[in-house]
């Protein structure tokens, strides 16, 4: 039984010229910060940071130097001007030097400035390190697939390499803002920090030798990329393998095989997966009724939508919404 309607949320979505599929996805990439801490640390010092599954953490060294210990091999040095993005959500430590004694975040004299922004001055009085640390979430329906593909640690040296001038200048501006912390400075720092972290991710994605795998391989492919953009633009469309093959300008059989090979799942499974990611996002971020969300994503009935949602997430949409509101 066909449970989808031909409803399309944006009737002009498929009429717009197709640009770069990867560019369209990166255009939608944004972050939501849950915690930012601007720290002045004097040696010796060490901070143990717990695991944050499903979240990104980042660190910007705006003065001095420190060491990062992820538990995988020896600690690695982090110099002034380095930007680190840690994608695995696993526990890690920052140290004034290898072997320094660590304390947990709960043991440190953190001063709350706002609901998500804090400052910290801590250490033994030796050479200083200025560190901005944050915990953020990628807000994008493809965030899970993207997180799986990112390396555990992204590192960019914005001050001493050929990084773009605006990135270097932005990090230096953040450093000055953190040092002075004028009224509203925490807002400036958090907004700019999000932009810098997104640029680190974009920098990696735009390096084909590193990012040409999995779902991103499909996005980069001119033909499969066209089909993915079609799904992303009009998820409520009553797509079939044949109509997606037409969008990709391929034969049905060649498209079906190539899509599965590049993306790691069939085209129809990806369509269902994408709809459910959008549904979860809207359940968490809007007050729209479940019936409205179901219709906007192409489902003819709310019960059919509920069954599809539970198959993917193991619980009905109302449960996801309640848990999010209680968090």
The total of structural domains in the chain comes to 2
193 shares a domain with 145: yes
| φ/ψ of residue 88, rounded to 5 | -80, -15
279 shares a domain with 168: no
139 shares a domain with 200: yes
Q: Report pLDDT for 3.
A: 44
Residue corresponding to tokens 């609901």: 115
Between the alpha carbon of residue 166 and those of residues 159, 170, 201, 202, the distances in Å are 11, 6, 16, 14
pLDDT average, residue stretch 290-314 = 92
240 shares a domain with 205: no
Q: Report pLDDT for 214.
A: 77
State pLDDT tens for residues 190-217: 778 778 888 788 778 777 666 677 788 8
What is the band of 247 on the pLDDT scale with cuts at 50, 70, 90?
very high
Q: How many CB atoms are located within 10 Å of the residue 249 CB? A: 11
Q: Report pLDDT for 174.
A: 75
69 shares a domain with 38: yes
Which residue range(s) make up the domain with 302? 221-326
231 shares a domain with 203: no
User: Residue 291: is its pLDDT beyond 80?
Assistant: yes
228 shares a domain with 160: no
- Residue 246 to residue 259: CA distance in whole angstroms: 13
State pLDDT tens for residues 31-44: 777 888 889 999 99
231 shares a domain with 193: no
pLDDT average, residue stretch 206-230 = 82
Q: Report pLDDT for 5.
A: 41
Burial class of residue 223, CB neighbours in 10 A (0-12, 13-18, 19+): middle
State pLDDT tens for residues 77-103: 999 888 899 988 889 999 999 999 999
Question: What pTM, to 2 d.p., does this model score?
Answer: 0.73
pLDDT average, residue stretch 273-280 = 91
pLDDT average, residue stretch 263-278 = 93
279 shares a domain with 239: yes
Residue 266 lies inside a defined structural domain of this protein: yes
């Amino acid at each position: 039984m066909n449970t989808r309607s031909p409803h399309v949320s944006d009737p002009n979505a498929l009429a717009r010229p197709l640009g770069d599929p990867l560019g369209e996805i990166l255009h939608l990439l944004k972050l939501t910060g849950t915690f930012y801490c601007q720290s002045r640390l004097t040696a010796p010092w060490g901070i143990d940071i717990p695991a944050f599954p499903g979240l990104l953490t980042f660190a910007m060294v705006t003065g001095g130097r420190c060491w990062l210990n992820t538990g995988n091999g020896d600690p690695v040095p982090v110099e002034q001007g380095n930007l680190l993005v840690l994608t695995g959500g696993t526990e890690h430590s920052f140290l004034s030097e290898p072997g320094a004694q660590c304390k947990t975040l709960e043991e440190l004299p953190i001063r709350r400035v706002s609901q998500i922004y804090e400052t910290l001055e801590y250490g033994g009085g030796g050479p200083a390190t200025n560190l901005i640390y944050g915990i953020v979430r990628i807000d994008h329906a493809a965030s899970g697939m993207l997180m799986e593909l990112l390396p555990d640690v992204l590192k960019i040296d914005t001050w001493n390499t050929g990084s773009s001038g605006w990135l270097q200048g932005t990090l230096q501006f953040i450093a000055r803002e953190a040092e002075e912390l004028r009224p509203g400075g925490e807002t400036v720092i958090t907004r700019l920090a999000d932009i810098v972290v997104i640029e680190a991710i974009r920098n990696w994605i735009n390096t084909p030798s590193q990012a040409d795998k999995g779902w991103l391989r499909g996005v980069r492919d001119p033909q499969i990329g066209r089909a993915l953009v079609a799904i992303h633009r009009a998820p409520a469309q009553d797509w079939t393998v044949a109509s997606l093959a037409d969008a990709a300008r391929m034969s049905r059989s060649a498209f079906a095989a190539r899509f599965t090979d590049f993306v790691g799942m069939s085209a129809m499974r990806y369509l269902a997966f994408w709809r459910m990611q959008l549904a979860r996002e809207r359940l968490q971020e809007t007050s729209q009724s479940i019936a409205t969300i179901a219709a906007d994503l192409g489902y003819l009935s709310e019960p059919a939508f509920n069954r599809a949602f539970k198959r993917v997430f193991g619980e009905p949409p109302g449960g996801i919404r309640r848990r999010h509101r209680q968090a």
